[in-house]
Amino acid sequence: MSTTEPPVLAARGLSAGHARRVVVADLTLEVRPRTVTALVGPNGSGKSTLLMTLARVLRRQAGEVLLDDRPIDRLPSTEVARRLGVLPQTAVVPTGATVRELVEQGRYPQLGPWAMLRRHDDGAMRRALELTGLTPLADRRLDSLSGGERQRAWIAMTLAQETGVLLLDEPTTYLDVRHQIDLMRLVEHLRDDHGLTVVMVLHDLNQAARHADRVVALRDGRVLADGTPREVLTSGTLRSVFDVDALVVDDPVTGRPLFVAR
């Protein structure tokens, strides 16, 4: 992990929230290229609010967000969507749509003024379906899929965008153990072989410890800890962030910290 390269995504003095309510206040964060960052914190701590504001889905209240060193507000919205893909928690399943139709939507930012699909779009959609293991389910209706299959379809839509940055809000929700592992491997593969930068909200701290290069812990909209998994996942931070009493040991398989509640 290089710390000298300029950040792909950065927040400077960022305040974010809903309507006039401030959820995240004066937050500064830099995300280095080709890294996986896990955002952790209790329910309501502002993880989704922060992620959506970084993606410019929510309008920021103060401060600024930089994408590739440029203020994100100055980029046209399709340009932002070509560089940064986001999977919100609030996605609505359109009744009757198929997996392929959903994935196709991921191509929207790349389409020309007449919004016609071209050959390259087909390739991107095919790769997205393959990476998420959904090729055999491509023509199934979303409302006929299991929760986990549907979650993978949303991820495939985000991948079809072919962006360099991915922001994923709780991507492992609904997934069984196998598919959680597959998703984490996919994220690592995207980072290592495609040079992607990923920021994701995770609730499973051991997953964060195992697969993230960096963990950012939020509580009440403030960063309480930020660093490598080993730096952040200590029993002290777990107490201050989550109010849990936990033991942190070394994972015999990965050597990463492993958290066990007491």
Partner 1 sequence: MITIIKRVELPGLAVAALAVCVLAALCLGEPRLRPATALAALTDPAHPLRVPVWEVRLPRALLGLVAGAGLAAAGLLLQDVLRNPIAGPELLGVSSGAAVVVATIVVLGLGVPLVVQPWAALAGAVVAGALVLLAIGRTRDPAHVALVGAAVSAACGGLVVAVVGLGTQGNVVVLFRYLLGSLAARGWPHLETVTPLVAAGVGAAWLLRRRVEALTLGDDVAAGLGVPVTRTRVAAVGVAALLAAAVASVCGPVAFVALLAPHLARRLLGTVSTRRVLPLAVLLGGLLLALADLASRLLLYPVELPVGIATTLVGVPALVLLSRRTAVPA
Ligand X SMILES: Nc1ncnc2c1ncn2[C@@H]1O[C@H](COP(=O)(O)OP(=O)(O)OP(=O)(O)O)[C@@H](O)[C@H]1O
CA distance 86 to 50: 12
User: In the chain, at which residue ranges do the beta strands (DSSP E only) sit?
Assistant: 9-18, 21-31, 36-40, 62-67, 70-71, 84-87, 165-169, 197-201, 214-219, 222-227, 246-250, 257-261
Residues that bind Mg ion (CB under 5 A): 48, 89
Angstrom CA distances, 220 to 58, 142, 165, stand at 18, 35, 26
Among 35, 37, 48, 180, binds ligand X (CB under 6 A): 48
Q: Is 19 or 115 the residue whose CB approaches Mg ion more closely? A: 19
In angstroms, give the least distance from the CB of 62 to partner 1.
20
Residue nearest to Mg ion (CB): 48
Establish if 85 lies at the interface with partner 1 (CB under 8 A): yes
Q: How far apart are CA 178 and CA 85, in angstroms?
A: 24
Cβ proximity to ligand X: between 149 and 170 the closer is 170
Residue whose CB is less far from ligand X, 7 or 46: 46
| Nearer to ligand X among residue 13 and residue 44 (C-beta) | 44
From 26, 51, 28, select the one nearest 40 (Cα to Cα): 51
228: which strand partners? Answer: none
Residue 172 touching ligand X (CB under 6 A): no
Which one of residues 52, 99, 200, 217 is an interface residue with partner 1 (CB under 8 A)? 52
At position 90, the amino acid (one-letter code) is: T
Asked whether position 49 contacts ligand X by CB under 6 A, the answer is yes
98 binds partner 1 (CB under 8 A): yes
Residues 52-91 interacting with ligand X (rule: CB under 6 A): 89
